[in-house]
């Protein structure tokens, strides 16, 4: 009898077999995080509006026993001997508002980035990928830039008040923008490459991780997960939901430790995965090359390409 042909298993719980997709629960979590982040950002911008349209307009007058005089250039009456100044209570309130805006902006950014790790954008969609991953920094600019500019342009603040509020505003703005930037955003392409590698190495979309780790592994006998924590098994999508955002790059040594076949081009696969995880998603992911074809846990044929005349 002929040996039955090994076929591709469709990845369960969030894998389509071609493009990585999050689990339903991960998608719900991401949506919740995004709604909370959006609410925090709305409050931050509302606080900015209060500061601009109410707080910065506060003033108290010194020398209210001045006299009315007529400006010969405009013909308008004005009080002479009366000085307007920005009240100290308003300065303190302004500083408190700046801190509150920063806290709301930064908290929203952390939640938004957490959502993006659960449900990332495709890097091939350039505009959406940039906006979705850097929205926290964009919101921080919106929440601070107009207010900081108006602080420095305020005519009723004295030099000391303007310097104090302005410097605090600039420092908080820089901090909020810096913490809002996602310096290493994940992508669907990155997750798909890891999933494809796992399936080709193991024959199915099944990996192992522990709660305290940062990556997922190809088997449960490796030293990195002998930590005493409970070992968890699931799909790559379930591992991402648990906070493990990539496949370990030490998969070759892990396969050896577990007595599994190691592809001859493991180093090439590792280099490709590293490049893809670094954002070079157009990198070709090599197919595993096995010393003995019988070692291949799964047979995957190249997709047919349309040839144009």
Q: What is the CA radius of gyration of the chain?
A: 29
Query: Can you read off the two tokens belonging to residue 144?
Result: 């601070």
DSSP one-letter code for 262: -
DSSP one-letter code for 159: H
Mean predicted confidence (pLDDT) in 35-41:
98
Q: What is d(CA 39, CA 53) in angstroms, rounded to the nearest whole number? A: 21
The mean of the pLDDT values for the chain is: 89
For 124-171, the pLDDT digits (tens) are 999 999 999 999 999 999 999 999 999 999 999 999 999 999 999 999
State whether residue 179 is helix, strand or coil.
Answer: helix
256 Cα distance to chain centroid: 35
**pTM listed for this prediction:** 0.85
DSSP secondary structure string for all residues of 65-116 = T-EEEE-TTT--EEEES-EEE--HHHHHHHHHHHHHHHHHHHHHHHHHHHHH
Identify the band that residue 8 occupies on the pLDDT scale cut at 50, 70 and 90: very low
């Amino acid at each position: 009898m002929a040996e039955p042909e090994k076929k591709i298993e469709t990845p369960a719980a969030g894998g389509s077999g071609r493009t990585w997709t999050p689990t339903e629960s991960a998608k719900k979590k991401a949506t919740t995080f995004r709604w909370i982040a959006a609410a925090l950002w709305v409050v931050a911008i509302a606080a900015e509006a209060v500061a601009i349209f109410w707080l910065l307009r506060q003033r108290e007058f010194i020398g209210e026993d001045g006299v009315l005089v007529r400006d010969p250039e405009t013909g308008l009456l004005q009080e002479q001997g009366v000085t307007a100044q920005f009240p100290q209570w308003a300065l303190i309130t302004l500083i408190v508002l700046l801190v509150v805006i920063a806290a709301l902006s930064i908290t929203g950014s952390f939640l938004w980035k957490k959502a993006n790790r659960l449900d990332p954008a495709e890097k091939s969609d350039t505009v959406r990928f940039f906006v979705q991953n850097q929205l926290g920094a964009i919101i921080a600019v919106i929440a601070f830039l107009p207010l900081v500019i108006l602080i420095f342009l305020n005519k009723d603040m004295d030099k000391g008040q303007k310097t104090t509020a302005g410097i605090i505003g600039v420092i908080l703005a820089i901090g909020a923008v810096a913490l809002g930037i996602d310096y290493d955003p994940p992508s669907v392409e990155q997750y798909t490459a890891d999933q494809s590698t796992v399936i080709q190495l193991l024959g199915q979309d099944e990996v192992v991780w522990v709660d305290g780790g940062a990556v997922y592994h190809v088997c449960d006998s490796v030293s990195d997960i002998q930590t005493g924590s409970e070992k968890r098994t699931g799909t790559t999508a379930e591992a991402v939901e648990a906070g493990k955002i990539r496949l370990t790059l030490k998969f070759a040594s892990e396969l050896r430790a577990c007595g599994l076949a190691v592809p001859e081009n493991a180093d090439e696969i590792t280099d490709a995965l590293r490049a893809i995880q670094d954002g070079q998603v157009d990198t070709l992911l090599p197919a595993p090359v096995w010393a003995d074809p019988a070692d291949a846990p799964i047979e995957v044929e190249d997709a047919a390409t349309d040839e144009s005349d």
